[in-house]
Amino acid sequence: MKVLVMNGPNLNFLGIREKGIYGEDNYESLCKRIQAKADALGIEAEVYQNNSEGALIDRIQAAYADGTQGIIINPGAYTHYSYALRDALASVQMPKIEVHISNVHQREEFRHVSVTAPVCNGQIVGMGLMGYELALEAMIELVK
């Protein structure tokens, strides 16, 4: 089973940006954590990060034809306004899970809206980096 784990803008700055919100761990340690969890679950995870909307859309479109069976995505701030990313996610018929490290509902009002969540199977919010591990576990059930 092959899962694509995508991170949008500024998530490569984990461990640098707003540590009180996103924690001390850097992006590399997130990638290692995802790979370790995927190994333990016996699945293949490709981890991808990009700061650009178009690059994220291109990667989602590529997933249509490259054997990807599920997408886990933290779209960063694009979550709140990117209809283009939403349309790209809606285009590919496979399970999709949205992840947010922070509890967006406890934060500014603009973060309470997700335009991408309605085209995903579910959303994991506020569980820190563990959210990605929970999403991998859930994805196995969704792909079955």
Q: Which of 77, 106, 112, 137 binds ligand DQA (CB under 6 A)?
A: 77
Q: Is 49 a binder of ligand DQA (CB under 6 A)?
A: no
Contacts to ligand DQA from residues 6-35, by CB under 6 A:
10
Nearer to ligand DQA, 33 or 111 (CB): 111
116 in Cβ contact with 80 (< 8 Å): no
Contact present, 99 and 70 (Cβ < 8 Å): no
First to last CA, the chain: 10
Positive or negative torsion for Cα 86, 89, 93, 95: negative
Site string for ligand DQA, 79-118 (x = CB under 6 A): x--------------------xxx-x------x-------
Estimate to the nearest angstrom the gap between the alpha carbon of 75 and the chain centroid.
6
Give residues in contact with ligand DQA (CB under 6 A).
Answer: 10, 74, 76-77, 79, 100-102, 104, 111
